[in-house]
Amino acid sequence: MNFDGININNELKSRIESAAAAGKLPHAVILEGGSENDRLNLARLLAKAQVCSGESIPCCSCNDCIKAEKGIHPDIFQALAQEGSTEPLKVDAIRDIRANAFVYPNEAQRRVFILHNMQFANEQAQNALLKILEEPPEFVRFILTAPVSSVMLTTILSRAAVFSLGQQLGDTLNAKHTQACEKAAAIAKALISPNEFDLMTETGIFEKDAELLVLVLAQLRLIFRDAIARKQSQAATLLSSSQDNAVLLSRSCTVPQLMALMQAVDALEKAENQNANKALLITRFCSMMRKAVNK
Ligand SMILES: [Zn+2]
């Protein structure tokens, strides 16, 4: 496979190459990290591999590869929300994709949908996408990209393989992401701390930083999801950035408590979307979380 023009680590490279050689590229892939170009170029390379009809995949010489290379393959669809664009990936665009996904491929064995910059897809659009990810036609493949996969709903994350291109230094979004991961880990820890003030101490910052709250809620959702998954199976694949704390939570909480924590995250996200009063929101955050774990 030719990864020219893509900054990609050797581990991910060989993972992709062996999956492609075995004909086992995942049905849905999320590409995160790296630069925007790295993600888009890798998405296009994977799409080419999915439609290639040659021997070694992608062969770069079959008709499918040639058309994919030129960007004119009829079975590769690209929904590209440009970075900095005010036009998000709208729910209508996703509905079009859904309608399109049930049409048989024109030339290749598969139809590939590239959804670039999923951070611009709001919850409504992501839920629309989820409907097809749940029961996709056999011939459909999805390649989603985002700076960080945590911008996507857990329900989407749980149905896709995440390929991480690694952190980009100097990227403010990644700095914020790291801060959110650390904060979510601290909150998860505070939830099982015997000191009830720990939670209040950790959440004070949200009053001044609503953007951080949104990112932290997304991280907490992953941690709670992991804790539930771990309760169900020791072998569960964990997705969150704070797997240690997810395991601790799974040990000290019941499944209904963890579900209540998930519901608290949903309710708070909704309230945040509706521009609720920040101070009240934080009080609510603490009380909902405490109530979920019976504190
Ligand atoms: Zn080919």
Under CATH, what is the fold of the domain 172-292? Zinc Finger, Delta Prime; domain 3 (1.20.272)
> What spacing in Å lies between the alpha carbon of 56 and ligand 1's midpoint?
7
Q: Which residues of 175-207 are buried (b: 16+ CB within 10 A; e: fewer)?
A: eebeebbebbbbbbbbbeeeeeebbeebbeebe
Query: How many Å apart are CA 42 and CA 198, to the nearest integer?
Result: 43
Out of 45-54, 111-120, 171-180, which region has the weakest mean confidence (pLDDT)?
A: 171-180
Task: Give the per-residue pLDDT at 174.
Answer: 65
Taking residues 269-274, what's their average pLDDT? 79
Highest mean pLDDT among 63-67, 80-84, 204-208: 63-67
> What spacing in Å lies between the alpha carbon of 138 and ligand 1's midpoint?
20
Residues of the chain with CATH 3.40.50.300: 10-164
The amino acid occupying position 69 is E
Structure tokens at 278: 């920040």
Residues of the chain with CATH 1.20.272: 172-292
Task: Give the per-residue pLDDT at 86.
Answer: 44
Given a contact cutoff of 8 angstroms between Cβ atoms, the answer to whether 251 and 182 are in contact is no
Query: How many Å apart are CA 64 and CA 75, to the nearest integer?
Result: 9
> What spacing in Å lies between the alpha carbon of 161 and ligand 1's midpoint?
23
Residue ranges of E strands in 56-191: 76-80, 111-116, 140-146, 161-164
Structure tokens at 51: 């439609």
Q: What is the DSSP string of 193-244?
A: -S-THHHHHHHGGGGT-HHHHHHHHHHHHHHHHHHHHHHH-TTPPP-SS-HH
Q: Which residues of 109-131 are buried (b: 16+ CB within 10 A; e: fewer)?
A: ebbbbbbbbbbbbeeebbebbbe
Out of 80-84, 124-128, 180-184, which region has the weakest mean confidence (pLDDT)?
A: 80-84
Radius of gyration of the chain (CA): 20
Checking if the pLDDT of 87 tops 60, the result is no
Task: Give the per-residue pLDDT at 195.
Answer: 87
> What spacing in Å lies between the alpha carbon of 199 and ligand 1's midpoint?
55
Query: Does domain 10-164 sit in CATH 3.40.50.261?
Result: no
| Among 25, 111, 125, residue whose Cα is nearest residue 146 | 125
Helix, strand, coil shares of the chain, percent, nearest 5, are: 55, 10, 35
> What spacing in Å lies between the alpha carbon of 60 and ligand 1's midpoint?
5
Checking if the pLDDT of 177 tops 80, the result is no
Q: Is 9 helix (H, G, I), strand (E, B) or coil?
A: coil
Q: What is the mean pLDDT of the chain?
A: 86
> What spacing in Å lies between the alpha carbon of 69 and ligand 1's midpoint?
10
Q: Regarding predicted confidence, which is higher, 63 or 88?
A: 63
The pTM is what? 0.60
> What spacing in Å lies between the alpha carbon of 134 and ligand 1's midpoint?
29
Query: How many Å apart are CA 214 and CA 126, to the nearest integer?
Result: 16
Taking residues 103-112, what's their average pLDDT? 94
> What spacing in Å lies between the alpha carbon of 143 and ligand 1's midpoint?
18
Given a contact cutoff of 8 angstroms between Cβ atoms, the answer to whether 123 and 152 are in contact is no
Given a contact cutoff of 8 angstroms between Cβ atoms, the answer to whether 223 and 246 are in contact is yes
